[in-house]
Amino acid sequence: MTPDSFKERLARGVFSTVLRLAAPAYFLRLFLRGRQEPLYAAHPAERFGFGAAIEPGAIWVHAVSLGETRAAAALIEQLRRERPGLRLLLTHTTATGREAGRALLRDGDTQRWLPFDTPGAVRRFLRRTRPAVGVLMETEIWPNVQHEALKAGVPMVLANARLSARSLRRGEKFKALLAPAARSLRLALAQTAQDADRLRQAGVADVRVSGNLKFDLQPDEALLARGRTWRAGLNRPVVMLAVSREGEEAAMLAAWKSAQAARAPAGSPLLLIVPRHPQRFDEIAAMVTDAGLTLARRSAFGTSDIATPPLSAGVADVWLGDSMREMALYYGLADVALLGGSFEKLGGQNLIETAACGVPLFMGPHTFNFAEAAELSLQAGAARRVATLTEGLSQALALLTQPSERQEMADAATAFAAAHRGAAQRMAAPILKLAAA
């Protein structure tokens, strides 16, 4: 391993100082956000690296938020399959990640917040946990976490790794800080050959192409079936805006009203909006009613095992998917979907789950976070690219009137998702090898 230069040590020192100075503002922000999402304010000592000591030798997986946690689920399942009885140390930085991560825990496992990336907090965390190996999911780079792990002899792996050309260019501006972090990685398991090339350019020595864990995720069959049952009871087609982001909901509501789909006679399409961030549920509900549309909220339906939604919901103009861990139910409801995050410059969302549920997809121009998956889905006929959300809605509504064409896309989507599985198995073996070293 090449020793860090003076310039690199100085950059990390400046970074650490800035973080220490910013710590009060950061924790005030967590406290304020905890008013909306209480989990953010829970276990504050863990943010400083404190917490009860655990038995050494756990496999440490850091999944920052919901998407990374769901991808990690496939890897963790495979790790347990290959090493029964392993102990898991699971860390997160967001409330949605931590909440989703609870379902992955078994007896003997530990869940923590990732400590604030200052040397002292990280050292306390590592002294109390002493993992056998650390696995960072997808795009995570933490200069002090990786530096202190290297000093402590904990091999670090970047799994399901992706690095866009834009992120690589941005990283050049902070090369003195990020290059040592890249060099400190023992291994990167890249999603694509293009990601692998960029990771090598960034300074990672050992990079292997392993595929995308999200292809290994299987939809919850019970939720998917329930969604399809609900859809059959509606007697009207459903257009879904999936995992929407800021700016997209307002644009969709405007386009929906312009198309007059929501004001057509009985049996007209239903608009289903499923936002990416739960703290925006109330904001989007207000958007719908302010637009003069009638609203039904999933949270008002009751438990997830209800046979049918309330009768009043069936005649609403818009449904709001304001629940967590029910994406398969929403995809079961949908006849066609538009991909959130792809109509603003946000890089898109996980389109693989859409395909696995057999839902035809329209995506906008911005899918750089899932570039290869997007291209492969287009080639497979599982998705179509459009320039704007309005164009996407127009084509989605047209597809509803062409059942055979819609079924062809649905079948292509299912086949596309099934053809690319196996990443979890390719990743688990080298991680377990490092853990045993």
Residues with a known catalytic role: 68
The strand pair at 383-385 and 361-363 is best described as parallel
- Residues with Cβ within 8 Å of 18's Cβ and at least 6 positions away in sequence, in order, are none
Give the amino acid at 227. Answer: G
Q: Of 242, 274, 214, 277, which Cα lies nearest the Cα of 68? A: 214
Task: Dump strand ranges (E) for 247-398.
Answer: 270-275, 295-297, 318-320, 336-339, 361-363, 383-385
- Asked if 325 and 100 touch (Cβ cutoff 8 Å), the reply is yes
Q: How far is CA 336 from the centre of its chain?
A: 21
- Asked if 385 and 363 touch (Cβ cutoff 8 Å), the reply is yes
Q: Is 49 left (phi over 0), alpha (psi -120 to 50) or beta?
A: left
User: For the packed helices 193-202 and 371-380, what is the interaxial angle rounded to 10 degrees?
Assistant: 170
How many degrees, rounded to 5, is the angle at CA 279 between CA 142 and CA 50? Answer: 40
How many C-beta atoms surround the C-beta of residue 139 within 10 A? 16
User: For the packed helices 389-400 and 248-259, what is the interaxial angle rounded to 10 degrees?
Assistant: 50
- Asked if 392 and 346 touch (Cβ cutoff 8 Å), the reply is no
- Asked if 182 and 207 touch (Cβ cutoff 8 Å), the reply is no
At 17 the three-state DSSP class reads: helix
| β-strand partners of 158 | 136, 188
